Structure 1
Amino acid sequence: MNDLHTFGLRVISINGVFYDGRAKCIILPCIDGERAIQANHEEMWVAIYAGIIKIQKPDDTWIECVCGYGSIQVANNRCTVISDTIEKPEDIDLKRAQEALEIAKEKVRQKNSIAEYRLSQAAMARALSRLKAGSKINLH
């Protein structure tokens, strides 16, 4: 594989390294939608939100993971993704994710402080991302 079309990618969370190697593309969940990073992308530092990360490996296969909140840094044809949580779709417990979603929905409905409301919204977003990714795997 020609390194001109790839970049160094490292995807990590507090639980360890999810991916460390070359990649053609990574698609990340950001506040304004998905953002794709490819080789020789401009330098930047961006926040990421709970959602699904898609990685295109040099052999053109794709892998996915569910991430929590974090950030990405792109510099010198390298991308580092740091997230509070990263899960493989096949490791997601759909029943537990559905229960977490119901709890978060109930907390959003309650009259709480702005901070509690935002935490509940974040929990809802994470649960929905986990259900979406986990359902794809479990339907096959």
Structure 2
Amino acid sequence: MKTLTVSVVTPDGPVMEEDFEMVSCKSETGELGILPGHIPLVAPLSISAVRLKSDNDTKRLSVNGGFMEVRPDKVTILAQTAEKPSDINVQRAEEAKARAERRLQSKQDDIDFQRAELALKRALNRLNIGG
């Protein structure tokens, strides 16, 4: 079966580079499924999971924004952060979730609600992948 080379890179360096049969992820405009031979594309990514399918196995990564570049034989994901399930500290993600929820429920004027909302989305994404 045909495959795509998937390369995931963050500012801290490469996270993975492997061959997969399909890549599924969530862009800011909706869900994307990429197969070998896909037309060239650049899309901004949402805070979400990236699903990488090969044979009967599916790997997942937690991605916190960034961009995806698609070419017929290669997908490059340039993410602000990307974590494999084994790299996610579940306890830390649970603490971040609780902290963000407290901030969102706070009635204080100095709370940046948009920032707290993004922190909550990141924590939930990490818990979804790591937990």
TM-score strictly above 0.5 = yes
Larger CA deviation: 86-95 vs 102-111: 102-111
Query: Does the Cα contact within 8 Å between 2:8 and 2:15 map onto a contact in 1?
Result: yes
Partner of 2:86: 90
Identity %: 23
Compared with structure 1, are the counterparts of its residues 112 and 48 closer, same or farther at alpha carbon in structure 2 (3 Å cutoff)?
farther
**2:113 matched to 1:128?**
no
Root mean square deviation, CA, Å:
2.1
Report the Cα distance in structure 2 between the residues aligned to 1:52 and 1:109, rounded to whole angstroms: 26
TM-score, with normalisation over the residues of structure 2? Answer: 0.85
Q: Deviation at 1:60?
A: 4.1
**2:103 matched to 1:107?**
yes
Partner of 1:138: none
Q: Deviation at 1:30?
A: 2.2
More helix by share: 1
**2:49 matched to 1:52?**
yes
More strand by share: 2
Runs of 4+ in 1 over 6 A off after TM superposition: none
Q: Deviation at 1:37?
A: 0.8
TM-score, with normalisation over the residues of structure 1? Answer: 0.80
**Structure 2 stretches of 5 or more lacking a match?**
none
